Structure 1
Amino acid sequence: MTTYTPRVKPVPALRETDDAQLYRKVLLRLIPVLFISQIFAFLDRVNIGFAKTHMTGDLGLSAAQYGLAAGVFFVGNMLLEIPSNLWLHRFGARKSLFRIMLLWGLVSSATMFVRTPHELVLMRFVLGLCEAGFWPGVLLYLTYWFPAARRANAVAICLLAPTAAGVLAGPLSGWILGNLDGAAGLHGWQWMFLIEGIPACFVGVLLRIYLPDGPRDAGWLRSDERARLMAALADESAEGRGSGSHTGFDRAHWRTTALFAFLLACVLSGVFLNVFWLPTIIREAGVHGDLRIGLYSVVPYLVSGLVMVLVSRHSDAHGERRWHFAGSMFVAAIGLAMIAQGHASLAIALPGICLLGSGLSAALAVFWALPPAYLPKSSLPGAIAAINMIGGIGAMAGPWLIGLLRDRTGSVSLAMAPFCVLLLIAAICAVVGTRKRSMIREPL
């Protein structure tokens, strides 16, 4: 007797397991080198915060001039953000990221030669020009590998790099400033820029050698794995077109892009006023000594990194972005209010810094999962760059305005108080402005 056995359909759970293993393989291959490059990108942006006190005396730097030097980086960054991202999309990630890292490493190290506040401002502007397009380039590069439903976790891991850089920057910069001051006739801050700038050049070479431009060029993937990755991304693109997205921008897309740019400006104004003035806040709270200030600065970065991972995973698990973003911004506003009220007490200021950093880090991780869900895929290269470019206004204005208010009030912590309102406005705009149903799909 012949027994008929029907063909068994693939079990969804098995397919999900296979996909999870595939994306884990991609993560383990790509993210470590991107993570390392992000560490040096953040380190070379913010190490000026630890050098501020020393440069103030050596260069005759006022608080407003320091704020301008810290913020003008983002002016140069904005000018070349879109061209750099379009270059990456056309010529590939390997060439673009190599060029960016090599140039910014050289310019960051050359900051050791500045002699006046004006030269410092100019060098920071040039540094912004050289680094333009790096972070939006990384974001765009991730869209070549991960569909929207799996991308937030990859972005969050990359966003852990600033946390790692913050943990590294405090003790390292503090040690250099405290122990190498006067060595070979150079100030400690000169050694700091030299030692922390050169490694970016070597990492750029590593990217050029190691990084594939996309799944099609990844020799470490099997042919079936490569096909599955490309099919998942193609399906997502087709779904976007089928759900009413267009290859160009209509008025609604421009409004959405403007909203995201405003939200990012609010986030970055808080992120970088916190980053650039963190050592000063800790010093005003009663901590003295470069190494001690550096060690205390590690605490907020560790807390922020943990919270960011938890929030981004929870957001991915529930497929929800807007309330996670808004709630994170609300927490950041509470932290900023604590700093403003308890600026002279480490017991109040340090928890406030932790809340501020945690809220902003979580909001930033969730934020970058929003544009691909609300904008047509074909417009993402220009849209991501435009959002990041306009959002950079907040990164520029935050540190500069804090410097101006610091000169008037005498306290950087009190100068932060008005930014509480800005963070709350961003939370409200995120909830109201992204009410339409997200295009994010459940994992395949």
Structure 2
Amino acid sequence: MQAAQTAPIDRTSAESAEAAAVYGRVTARLLPFLFLCYVLAYIDRANIGFAHLQFSRDIGLSDASFGLGVGLFYAGYMLFEVPSNIFLERVGVRKTLLRIMVLWGLVSAATAFVQTPFQFYLARVLLGAAEAGFFPGIILYFTYWFPAARRARVTAIFMTAICVSGIISGPVSGLILKSLSGAFGVKGWQWLFILEGLPSAIAGLAAYAFLTDRPEHATWLSDREKQIIRRELEHDARVKEERAHPSIWAALKEPRFYFLTFAYFSVPWASIVVHVWAPSVIQKSGVTNYWYIGLLSAIPYIVGAVVMYLLGKSSDRTLERRWHFMFGAILAAIGVVFLPAASSQPVALIVLLCIATSGYLGMLSLFWSIPPAYLSTTVAAAGIGLISSVGQFGGILAPTVIGYASTHLGSSAMGLYTVAAVSILGGLAVVLGIPARAINER
């Protein structure tokens, strides 16, 4: 009886082709717009690294203070991540994205007017609070439309927006700093926040007008197409019920859960170097033209996107996650640990940033294939949320450590060595803490 319940849906090849066509239509309707929104989100989150090239001296910000401000973004993000998802479940994605994107766009643009370190700290907390819930909200939104068997590939495509944002934001931010400094009496870093923040607010208005909360509300689907989606989602729900565990408390009693949490805690450490500190590192190597800094900062994302794809493809082909994640951690550590030695060599520096970015993106994409395969379905919802929230502490600590080392030790070297060490420990947490037999994908 159980085997019959968990078997795939019985259907003819014609029905399979029909379902594929329906999901192709859904994907084409929803994914490009959501992809664009995620690109804008990461641009608004990471453009602080380029603004830092100019604005720190204007508001009296040391590297330690800058690092603290960068980390405070994650404090606001953590506080409102879960409440935001609860709000989305109740009122739908259209109203939720309207609130999130309009607020984060306006807060990002308003950062152009900060004049003191305290105002900078406040702006970063508010930006994190405004953006909180966007990524987990979209992941939840996908569950309303796609069954698990189709959701993984959609999520993977969605996450490549991180690479695209890095490729776009570098040259665009560099061009703004170079070309608009002093235009109409406004400084370059102020133009940066205004011009890159307002599109997000506009996209929030577009999200309310364009998106559909659930399949049953889609006027662009026929009744037959809605029925196909409902059938697959109902089958998915039945399978999840069969794998149910009593509660999240059962998972919290297992050491493996904490190994997973620490592994995700290690991921933001390398990301801070890639997203936030890379422009400053490139500038200190002797590249002073902001446009060139922007172009050079895009190269690691191009290389990283290719490596992330190849690493993910290899992991999917072999259904091996742990050692692939470890390989990403090693790449991130190697790229970061040698940055101080290459501080005055731009070519070597870009090579190392390519290695670090490839490792970070590989870790990020591979990590989220592990918890769903390890945790039971009922526990996964709460467990993944908890892992995500606790893991954000890495985003708070990493920039604080790097900034402190740069200000009080005269060099960011010790901070970067710490990032490399945490990356390796994160990889070991997965390899040594999660047995291969515990990942149920075969």
Asked if the contact 1:39–1:165 (Cα under 8 Å) also holds between the matched residues in 2, the reply is yes
| Aligned residue in 2 for 1:192 | 192
Other structure's SS at 1:250 match: helix
| Aligned residue in 2 for 1:78 | 78
Determine the C-alpha separation between the residues in 2 that align with 1:152 and 1:329: 22
**After TM superposition, what 4+ stretches of structure 1 lie above 6 angstroms from structure 2?**
10-15
Matches within 5 A, 1:180-329: 180-243=180-243, 245-246=244-245, 248-252=247-251, 255=254, 257-329=257-329
Amino acid at match of 1:118: F
User: 1:129 Cα deviation (Å)?
Assistant: 1.0
Structure 2 length-normalised TM: 0.90
Deviations 1:272-297 (CA, angstroms, capped at 9, x unpaired): 23211010111122222111101100
Matches within 5 A, 1:378-389: 378-389=378-389
Deviations 1:150-187 (CA, angstroms, capped at 9, x unpaired): 33322222222122211221121111112211122221
User: 1:20 Cα deviation (Å)?
Assistant: 4.4
Other structure's SS at 2:101 match: helix
Matches within 5 A, 1:107-122: 107-122=107-122
Matches within 5 A, 1:364-403: 364-403=364-403
Determine the C-alpha separation between the residues in 2 that align with 1:351 and 1:240: 44
Other structure's SS at 1:411 match: coil
Asked if the contact 1:107–1:123 (Cα under 8 Å) also holds between the matched residues in 2, the reply is yes
Q: Higher mean Cα deviation, 287-296 or 232-241?
A: 232-241
Other structure's SS at 2:160 match: helix
Other structure's SS at 2:332 match: helix
Determine the C-alpha separation between the residues in 2 that align with 1:15 and 1:323: 38
Percent pairwise identity:
37
Other structure's SS at 1:417 match: helix
Determine the C-alpha separation between the residues in 2 that align with 1:438 and 1:221: 37
Over 3 Å counting, the alpha-carbon distance change for 1:361 and 1:248 in structure 2 is same
Determine the C-alpha separation between the residues in 1 that align with 2:69 and 2:353: 23
| Aligned residue in 1 for 2:419 | 419
| Aligned residue in 1 for 2:404 | 404
| Aligned residue in 2 for 1:44 | 44
| Aligned residue in 1 for 2:4 | none
Over 3 Å counting, the alpha-carbon distance change for 1:44 and 1:291 in structure 2 is same
| Aligned residue in 2 for 1:353 | 353
Amino acid at match of 2:421: V
User: 1:44 Cα deviation (Å)?
Assistant: 0.8
User: 1:360 Cα deviation (Å)?
Assistant: 1.1
Over 3 Å counting, the alpha-carbon distance change for 1:94 and 1:370 in structure 2 is farther
Amino acid at match of 1:438: I
| Aligned residue in 2 for 1:142 | 142
Over 3 Å counting, the alpha-carbon distance change for 1:21 and 1:322 in structure 2 is farther
Amino acid at match of 1:341: A
Other structure's SS at 2:369 match: coil
Deviations 1:7-30 (CA, angstroms, capped at 9, x unpaired): xxx887766655544443332221
User: 1:423 Cα deviation (Å)?
Assistant: 1.0
How many positions carry a matched residue from both structures?
A: 432
**RMSD of aligned residue pairs (Cα, Å):** 2.4
Q: Higher mean Cα deviation, 363-372 or 395-404?
A: 363-372
Asked if the contact 2:251–2:379 (Cα under 8 Å) also holds between the matched residues in 1, the reply is no
Determine the C-alpha separation between the residues in 1 that align with 2:297 and 2:431: 32
Deviations 1:235-259 (CA, angstroms, capped at 9, x unpaired): 333223323x226323225645544
Over 3 Å counting, the alpha-carbon distance change for 1:418 and 1:431 in structure 2 is same
Deviations 1:121-170 (CA, angstroms, capped at 9, x unpaired): 11111111111111111122223333334333222222221222112211
Quick check: 1:438 aligned with 2:439? yes
Deviations 1:321-371 (CA, angstroms, capped at 9, x unpaired): 333322222222222223243233223221111111111112212222333
Determine the C-alpha separation between the residues in 2 that align with 1:125 and 1:48: 13
Determine the C-alpha separation between the residues in 2 that align with 1:126 and 1:147: 34
Structure 2 unaligned spans of 5+: 1-9
Asked if the contact 1:163–1:302 (Cα under 8 Å) also holds between the matched residues in 2, the reply is yes
User: 1:119 Cα deviation (Å)?
Assistant: 0.8
Determine the C-alpha separation between the residues in 1 that align with 2:65 and 2:315: 40
Q: Higher mean Cα deviation, 195-204 or 182-191?
A: 182-191
Deviations 1:59-114 (CA, angstroms, capped at 9, x unpaired): 11100011011111010110111111121122222211211001111111111111
Q: Higher mean Cα deviation, 386-395 or 309-318?
A: 309-318
Amino acid at match of 1:263: A
Determine the C-alpha separation between the residues in 2 that align with 1:254 and 1:349: 44
Deviations 1:363-384 (CA, angstroms, capped at 9, x unpaired): 2122223333333444555444
Asked if the contact 1:333–1:420 (Cα under 8 Å) also holds between the matched residues in 2, the reply is yes
